Amino acid sequence: MAGTEKHTILPRPTFDRPVKVLIVVSPYYSDIAEGLLAGAKAELEAAGATWDVVEMPGALEIPTAIGISDRRSNFDGYVALGCVIRGETTHYETVCNDSTRALQLMGLQGLCIGNGILTVENREQAEVRADPEGQNKGGGAAAAALHLIALGRKWADTRKDIGFKPRGEDTLMAGQTDGKSIA
């Protein structure tokens, strides 16, 4: 199925200054997490990036850890790694939806996050996706973070004002005039 399809892999971005990435991983399924982590580390090393790793108990804690790190550290980007395997209850949907939604919202706020949290039906699917020699979803998540970091750096000095512009010497406050009549 998915393992036999061909996928486009973008060329690895290059950087003119160091890149520092935080990998946040849930080792709930430790063998799956080890494969994801190996793939992510290899991709970051190939791009010349440095990385740190923190572990969280489950996928739901990964976005919170990234949010805390963003407020209190100096990482350029993040890689979220974990695995959620469907069980007998609706907990699967909650964990998948909420962790993904939280990561997406942080991304829309400007964080560079590669999402490597696997959401699968069974262990076999997880093993194939986590294997660095297989689908290498950990490496793919790291690559996504690197591409987002590169894009952010490309446009770092091209900000657009949103909403009201800051008041400067040439800006008049409401009720002020510059001596010219307004018709």
* pTM attached to this predicted model: 0.84
Domains of the chain: 18-154 (3.40.50.960)
Query: What is the per-residue pLDDT across 47-100, written as a single tens digit (0 to 9) for each?
Result: 999 999 999 999 999 999 999 999 999 999 999 999 999 999 999 999 999 999
91 part of the active site: yes
Catalytic residue among 91, 101, 123, 154: 91
> Checking DSSP bridges between strand 113-120 and strand 50-55, what pairing results, if any?
unpaired
Tens-digit pLDDT string for the chain (183 aa): 555 678 899 999 999 999 999 999 999 999 999 999 999 999 999 999 999 999 999 999 999 999 999 999 999 999 999 999 999 999 999 999 999 999 999 999 999 999 999 999 999 999 999 999 999 999 999 999 999 999 999 998 766 666 665 655 555 555 555 555 454
